[in-house]
């Protein structure tokens, strides 16, 4: 296989990373995982092997350890990098901001340093809709929506990350850079062999829902019921993780076509907002499971309502969602039941 197809995926054993590995293999790429499994489980490698029919090259490397990372870059010809490795819990970032700045910004700088040193041309950054902060008037945000103060250190780490990339671009660096501004990934691979596997209590809504339904969690807490939304709960743009994964392949393919010193940012979402209560009601309706849930206080750092304008993702990447919201719920539930069977 040509080394032009070697793509280093930092955080490649994580939720979005693992699904992206599958898409990369299916599109003829040779992914190399760098992941220290702090936010993931080594069992995902078995699932990846079952889905792809091959062993995935993986390395237990912390991106904050520049020496470890440099050995990986030295020993593997790499044509492109997809950088996922980061901590990602909004609430935890509020209580432990230094951890988020150390890992999310320090790790990014380390990877970029080595990309520059080893002449790696293409770089895809895992950004977030949190860079828009709390939308002032129009809740549908486009890439031209002004970026604003993030509601959490996690969001700020993504905002600073994008600024670092812009500064690098403006310095004349030859690297091609694309930041994907994710909205809220949900679901699992249709095979039920990989999915979201939170360490400890889930921070994201749907795994909290499925774990409550299966009995891993006693009760689901809905944070806030008095937001200025139709049902009083927060509204997000929930995107199937396999659709999000495919966008990364499209991003690498786009960058491979560029000469040098290209930079852009693009929203990756569905264009539709869904409330927390709509998720709960949809899950109960689709699965027949009755959830034990209650309202709790608002959670610090949460945005009230946001969803994506997705026209640029289609124009730039020729990408759009294939899976429905209902697919994502069904696939997440299949994954949760599969975990329970093999526990």
CA dihedral sign of residues 100, 101, 102, 108: positive
- Computed over its alpha carbons, how large is the radius of gyration of the chain? 19
- Cα separation, 188 vs 331, in Å, equals 5
Residue 60 neighbours by CB under 8 Å, 6+ apart: 35, 36, 37
Residue 107 neighbours by CB under 8 Å, 6+ apart: 10, 63, 64, 85, 86
307 catalytic residue (yes or no):
no
- Cα separation, 247 vs 218, in Å, equals 35
Residue 76 neighbours by CB under 8 Å, 6+ apart: 6, 8, 32, 57
Annotated catalytic residue, options 15, 100, 132, 154 = 154
Residue 296 neighbours by CB under 8 Å, 6+ apart: 221, 222, 223, 224
Residues annotated catalytic, as ranges:
154
């Amino acid at each position: 296989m040509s080394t032009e197809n070697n793509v280093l995926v930092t955080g490649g054993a994580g939720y979005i990373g693992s699904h992206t590995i599958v898409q990369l293999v299916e599109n003829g790429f040779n992914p190399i995982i760098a992941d220290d499994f702090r936010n993931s489980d080594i069992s995902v490698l078995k699932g990846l092997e079952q889905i792809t029919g091959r062993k995935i090259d993986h390395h237990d490397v912390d991106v904050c350890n520049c020496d470890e990372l440099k050995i990986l870059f030295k020993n593997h010809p790499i044509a492109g990098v997809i950088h996922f490795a980061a901590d990602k819990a909004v609430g935890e970032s509020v209580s432990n901001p230094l951890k988020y700045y150390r890992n999310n910004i320090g790790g990014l700088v380390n990877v970029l340093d080595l990309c520059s040193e080893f002449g790696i041309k293409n770089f895809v950054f895992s950004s977030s809709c949190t860079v828009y902060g709390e939308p002032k008037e129009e809740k549908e945000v486009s890439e031209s929506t002004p970026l604003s103060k993030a509601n959490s250190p996690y969001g700020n780490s993504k905002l600073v990350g994008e600024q670092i990339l812009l500064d690098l671009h403006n310095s004349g660096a030859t690297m091609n850079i694309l930041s994907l501004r994710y909205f809220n990934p949900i679901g699992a691979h249709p095979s039920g062999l990989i999915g979201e596997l939170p360490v400890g209590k889930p921070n994201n809504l749907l795994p909290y829902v499925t774990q409550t339904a299966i009995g891993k969690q006693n009760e689901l807490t809905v944070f806030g019921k008095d937001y200025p939304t139709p049902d009083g709960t927060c509204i997000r743009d929930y995107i199937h993780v396999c659709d999000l994964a495919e966008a990364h392949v499209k991003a690498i393919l786009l960058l491979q076509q560029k000469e040098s010193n290209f930079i852009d940012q693009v929203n990756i979402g569905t264009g539709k907002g869904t409330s927390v209560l709509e998720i709960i009601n949809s899950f109960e309706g689709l699965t027949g499971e009755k959830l034990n849930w209650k309202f709790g206080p608002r959670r610090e750092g949460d945005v009230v309502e946001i969803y994506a304008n997705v026209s640029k993702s289609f124009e730039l990447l020729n990408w759009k969602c294939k899976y429905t919201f209902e697919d994502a719920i069904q696939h997440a539930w299949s994954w949760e039941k599969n975990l329970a069977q093999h526990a």
